[in-house]
Amino acid sequence: MQRAVGWLVLLPLGLMLVLFALANRGVVQIGFDPLTPEVPFVAPMQMPMFVLIYAVLMAGVLIGGIASWFAQSRHRAEERHLRRRAEALEGELDRVRRERRTDETLALLEDGENG
């Protein structure tokens, strides 16, 4: 079911991206020097409009992913702490169970000797 929903979303999205690229093939000039556009510090580049928009979109996704990863670092650290605590408690529980079995076995042996 999840795969079908994925295709229902991704197929139209992919089609829209292709149509967008075909509709925006015109070359645009990109410059990075707002102070002196006549004699730029960095040479202006020319590229198709859709390449520029896709590059900005991918940069936004990458920056958003990195920001999200940093924002979740506190939660990941807490999860590691809780996992270590759970493992320690499971180890302690196993130790107590072994001691209990040993005590029960000794009690049965003592009852057998006394009875």
pLDDT per position as a tens digit, 49-65: 888 888 998 999 999 99
Higher pLDDT, 42 or 59: 59
Which pLDDT score is estimated for 59? 95
**Are 3 and 11 a contacting pair, CB within 8 Å?**
no
pLDDT at 17 over 70: yes
Total residues found in the chain within this entry:
115
**How far apart, in Å, do the first and last CA atoms of the chain sit?**
66
Higher pLDDT, 38 or 91: 91
pLDDT at 72 over 60: yes
Which pLDDT score is estimated for 75? 93
Task: Tell me the DSSP string of 63-110.
Answer: HHHHHHHHHTHHHHHHHHHHHHHHHHHHHHHHHHHHHHHHHHHHHHHH
Q: How far is 59 from 3, CA to CA, in rounded Å?
A: 27
Which pLDDT score is estimated for 78? 95
Place of tokens 């979303």: 9
Count CA atoms closer than 13 A to 105's CA, side-chain side.
6
- How does residue 86 score in pLDDT terms, banded at 50, 70 and 90? very high
- What percent of the chain shows pLDDT beyond 70? 91
Which pLDDT score is estimated for 37? 65
Which pLDDT score is estimated for 35? 74
Count CA atoms closer than 13 A to 7's CA, side-chain side.
3
**Are 48 and 24 a contacting pair, CB within 8 Å?**
yes
Among candidates 62, 61, 59, which has minimal Cα distance to 51?
59
What pTM does this model have? Answer: 0.58
